[in-house]
Amino acid sequence: MDFTLDSEQTALRDAVRGLLGKAYGSSETRREVTKTDPGWDDKTWQRLAEMGALGLPFAEEDGGFGAGPVEVSIVAEEIGRVIAPEPYVEAVVLAGGLIAAAGTAEQRAQIIGALTEGTLVPAFAHTEPGNRYSEIPTVAASGSGSDWTLSGVKEPVLGGGRADLLIVSAAIEGGTGLFLVQPDASGLTRTSYATFDGGRAAHVAFDATPATPLGEAGVDQTAVIAQAVAAAQIAYGHESLGAMAFALETTTEYLKTRKQFGVPLMTFQALTFRAADMYVSLELARSTVTWATLVLLDGDEGAVLEAAARAKLQISKAGRHIGQEAIQLHGGIGMTAEYSVGHYTSRLTAIDHVLGDGRHHLAALSKTLDDHDYIEPLP
């Protein structure tokens, strides 16, 4: 059991922190970048690619760098620290993870290499309006062999407007299939809009849209989707940790420097105690999320699903707590678009509601109480 980064991992963290700190050194830059489509900066994406960050989770034979969940978690956490709008978890961990897990050798060779190089940015079209966090899609697939069409609506699809390739979950006989849809496919309409956290989502409609099966045709991919989603949930946990750590640092700094009644705000115990509670929330969340990454590294699929749900629940609680208090302890300035901290709260809120919020996971966990006497975190 070891919860610490080795020297190579520390070097990776420092490098990514350096790169992203330069790109988003001031929150003003982020505001500028997110104003115009696609809501992120292609140059920053290219630099992440040059550094190798986009290929970390993928096997070398597929065109990746053969690193693992720990390295991915490091990048995600640094993304969170500056709330960089680049779609790291969405495109690399989730969409890329699906291609790596379900794709044929040929598909992997075509897509993973380009994703790693930063020239192809995929998106996973999974969520449907009116379908909440359900795993069973209503978008329907029909066809056989390599010749399929999709019909129905996915929304909100994160990064769906800009995506160079859509991976779509759709109902097939006996389960859920995964399909690749090209951006210029007939019968495909994508309408992109801004989300409250500065990101982009899209209404994506399929009307007898031609699609290629990802992997073998007609195979139920429910379990594959669940594993990729779990890896993304855990990576989102790290993105949140980065964001929460920064929100707490900023709040602490503000309490030290801001004066009212002629004294710094940290004179008031009502404020410092609340900052202390934020620290408690952060450290508890850090423990669970880091553990979940180690469970992912360990690779037991059942354990991964449970650990991801536990991490997402802890992150939901901590993210709400820290996000809300960060604004409150700042006072009015925290409400302004010009100041950073409110954007962190927005991002934490967005992450909370992607891939199942805290209550969703709590409800699921509360149905599994009979499975165990108590939780034993170390196998």
Partner 1 sequence: MKLQLSEEDAAFREEMREFFTTQIPQDIRDTVAARRELSKDQIVRSTQAMNAAGIAVPNWPVEWGGKDWTPLQRHIWHEEMQLAGVMPPLAFNASMVGPVIAAFGSQEIKERFLPKTANLDIWWSQGFSEPDAGSDLASLRTTAVKEGDEYIVNGQKTWTTLGQYGDWIFTLVRTDPDAKKQAGISFLLIDMTSPGLTVRPIQLIDGSHEVNEVFFDNVRVPVANLVGEENKGWDYAKFLLGNERVGVAPVGSTKRTLSQAKEYANTAGPGGTSLLDEPLIAAQIAELENDLLALELTALRVVANSADGKPHPASSVLKLQGTVLQQAVTELWVDIAGPNALATGAGDGSDVPDLARTATTNYLNYRKASIYGGSNEVQRQIIAGTILGLRG
Residue closer to partner 1 (CB basis): 163 or 245: 245
CA separation for the pair 319, 342 (Å, rounded): 12
Rounded Cα–Cα distance for residues 264 and 259 (Å) = 4
133 binds partner 1 (CB under 8 A): no
Q: How many whole angstroms separate alpha carbon 117 and alpha carbon 95?
A: 15
Stretch of 42-50, 86-94, 292-300, 342-350 contacting partner 1, by CB under 8 A: 292-300
User: Quick check: helix, strand or coil at residue 97?
Assistant: helix
Q: Which of 208, 297, 333, 335 binds partner 1 (CB under 8 A)?
A: 297
Task: Find all residues with CB under 8 Å of 373, minimum gap 6, and list them.
Answer: none
Nearest to 188 by CA among 211, 202, 204: 204
Two tokens, residue 130: 């009116």
For residues 255 and 269, give the distance between their C-alpha atoms in angstroms, rounded to a whole number: 11
Q: Report, in Å, the least distance between residue 193 CB and partner 1.
A: 34
The site map against partner 1 for 2-31 (x = CB under 8 A) is xxxxx--x----------------------
Site membership for partner 1, residue 226 (CB under 8 A): no
Query: In terms of CB distance, is 7 or 36 closer to partner 1?
Result: 7
Name the residue nearer to partner 1 (CB basis): 6 or 37: 6
Per the CB < 8 A criterion, the answer to whether 187 and 222 are in contact is no
**Residue 50 and residue 91: Cα distance in Å, rounded?**
16
Kindly state the helix (H) or strand (E) to which residue 48 belongs, with its residue range: helix 42-51
Question: What are the phi and psi torsion angles at 156 (to 5°)?
Answer: -80, 130
Query: x/- string (CB under 8 A) for partner 1, residues 63-92?
Result: -------x----------------------
Closer residue to partner 1, CB minimum distance, 33 or 315: 315
Judged by CB under 8 A, the chain residues 266 through 285 that form the site for partner 1 are 266-269, 272-273, 275-277, 279-280, 283-285
Closest-CA residue to 154 (of 185, 183, 176, 130) = 130
Binding site for partner 1 (CB under 8 A): 1-6, 9, 70, 248, 252, 255-256, 266-269, 272-273, 275-277, 279-280, 283-285, 287-288, 290-291, 293-295, 297-298, 310, 313-314, 362-363, 365-370, 373-375, 377-379
